[in-house]
Structure 1
Amino acid sequence: MAAADFEEIVDAFEFLEDWEDRYRHVIDLGREMDPLPEALHTEGAKVHGCASQVWMIPRVQGTGPEAVVTFDGDSDALIVRGLIAVLRTRVNGETAGTLCNLDIVAELARLGLDKHLSAQRSNGLRAMVARVREIAETTAKG
């Protein structure tokens, strides 16, 4: 399911030729995402390495490499909320084993974001991907 939803974003990016339109699309995806309750904006949920405030909450169903992993997230910056939404679209619903073997950075690079984000935003996105990988690897080990 996650991969199919992500493919819709890839298709939308191919249709939207202008980067301003693509940024607006990413921001719209973030606006459509349910915000995290303030009570979940904790230090433990915070993703360090991001210029903006970013919180990610993993949800794991099952154990080991077959456990299904999903993330909820939030940020105080609209574009970053959108990046969280894009990342979630690609990874949510995948198994821990799949996420351990998935090159998430390469998947996101299909959108060209790596060439159009500021260095700070790129670093923040890499920090979010690292959080996903950390949770997946810990979960897969059981």
Structure 2
Amino acid sequence: MANAAFEELVEDFEFLDDWEDRYRHVIDLGKAMDPLDEALRVPATKVDGCASQVWLHAQFDDGTLHFDGASDAMIVSGLIAVLRVLYNGLSPDEVVAVDARAEMGRLGLNDHLSAQRSNGLRAMIERIRELAAQAA
């Protein structure tokens, strides 16, 4: 149920032969994001359950999700960028319906993240799903 932008990302990852190339690409995606305004790095936007510092700021404009985020870890910033591609532009019901683990698996990420990173990714996905459920 991925959107067109995520399908493009999947295609990009299919051209990357090994995990190290994919890892670097995720980091590059994070570096390309605009920085999150310091005023939005507050306890209300902080995601618990991540080994690194993570903030997600979400809003629903015209019935669709738009979120930004930041982390003090480069790979986590990249994961935020991937989640933005996966979720931004979806309605709250669509956000809740996305099987994020399966979609991330299409990128070859599930098997190569440490247990701590996987837990953090799950925490970010849960936060996004909670925000969508509240907006529905």
TM range (shorter): over 0.9
Does residue 77 in structure 1 map to residue 73 in structure 2?
A: yes
Structure 1 residue 82 displacement after superposition: 0.2
TM-score (norm 1): 0.91
Q: Residue 116 of structure 1 aligns with which residue?
A: 112
Structure 1 residue 102 displacement after superposition: 1.6
Q: Residue 60 of structure 1 aligns with which residue?
A: 60
Structure 1 residue 106 displacement after superposition: 1.4
Work out which of the residue numbers 96, 108, 113 in structure 2 matches 1:100.
96
Q: Superposition RMSD on alpha carbons, in Å?
A: 1.1
| Aligned equivalents of 1:18, 1:111: Cα separation in 2 | 11
Runs (5+) with no aligned partner, structure 2: none
Q: Residue 123 of structure 2 aligns with which residue?
A: 127
| Aligned equivalents of 1:36, 1:86: Cα separation in 2 | 16
Structure 1 residue 72 displacement after superposition: 0.5
| Aligned equivalents of 2:26, 2:34: Cα separation in 1 | 15
| Aligned equivalents of 1:82, 1:8: Cα separation in 2 | 16
Runs (5+) with no aligned partner, structure 1: none
Count of aligned pairs between the two proteins: 135
| Aligned equivalents of 1:35, 1:74: Cα separation in 2 | 7
Q: Residue 17 of structure 2 aligns with which residue?
A: 17
Structure 1 residue 128 displacement after superposition: 0.4
Structure 1 residue 105 displacement after superposition: 1.8
One-letter identity of the residue aligned with 2:54? V
Q: Identity across aligned pairs (percent)? A: 60
Name the SS for the 2:49 alignment partner.
Answer: coil
| Aligned equivalents of 1:85, 1:98: Cα separation in 2 | 18
Name the SS for the 1:114 alignment partner.
Answer: coil
TM-score (norm 2): 0.95
One-letter identity of the residue aligned with 2:129? R
Structure 1 residue 110 displacement after superposition: 1.1
